[in-house]
Amino acid sequence: MSKKKKKNSNGEGSVYKDRNGYRGQIVVGIDKMGEPIRRSVSGNTKQEVNEKLTQIKYSMITGTYVSPECITLPQLTRQMLEDDLNMNFIRESSYYRHIETLKRIEANDYMNTTPIQKLSYTGVREYLVTETRAAQSVIDKIYMMIQRAMREAVKRKLITENQLEYVRKPKSVQRREKVRALTKEEQIKLYEVLTTEDINYSHQMLLSMLTGMRMGEINALKVDDINLKLRTISISRTISRDIKGRAYVSQTTKTENGTRVIRISDTVMPLVKEILQCAEGREYLFIHNGKHINTSQVNMQFQRVAERYGIIDEKIKGKVSLHSLRHTFATRCIEAGMQAKVLQHLLGHSDIRITLNTYCDAFESFQNENIAMADEYLASMGIGFDNKPRLLKTAG
User: With a cut of 50, which residues of the chain have pLDDT below it?
Assistant: 1-11, 394-396
Residues 6+ apart with CB under 8 A from 141: 98, 101
**193-245 confidence digits (pLDDT tens):** 999 999 999 999 999 999 988 999 999 999 999 999 999 999 988 888 776 66
- Whether 66-175 and 184-372 share one fold: the answer is no
Could you tell me if 344 and 231 are in contact, meaning their C-beta atoms sit under 8 angstroms apart? no
Residue 132, pLDDT score: 94
Residue 144, pLDDT score: 96
**The domain over range 184-372 is classified in CATH as 2.70.98.20:** no
Per-residue CA distances from 392 to 46, 379, 383, 384, 388 (Å) = 79, 21, 17, 15, 13
CA distance 209 to 182: 10
How far does the chain reach from its first CA to its final CA, in angstroms? 87
Residue 23, pLDDT score: 83
Closest CA to 213 of 328, 331, 347, 322: 347
**280-309 confidence digits (pLDDT tens):** 999 999 998 888 999 999 999 999 999 999
**β-sheet with 260-263: strand ranges across:** 226-227, 232-235, 260-263
CA distance 218 to 238: 7
CATH class of this structure's domain 66-175: mainly alpha
Residue 364, pLDDT score: 65
Residues 6+ apart with CB under 8 A from 15: 6, 8, 22, 23, 24, 46, 49, 50, 53
CA distance 204 to 182: 17
Could you tell me if 55 and 68 are in contact, meaning their C-beta atoms sit under 8 angstroms apart? no
pTM of the model: 0.63
Residue 93, pLDDT score: 76
CA distance 213 to 286: 14
Domain boundaries, the chain: 1-63, 66-175, 184-372
Residues 6+ apart with CB under 8 A from 170: 128, 129, 131, 132, 139
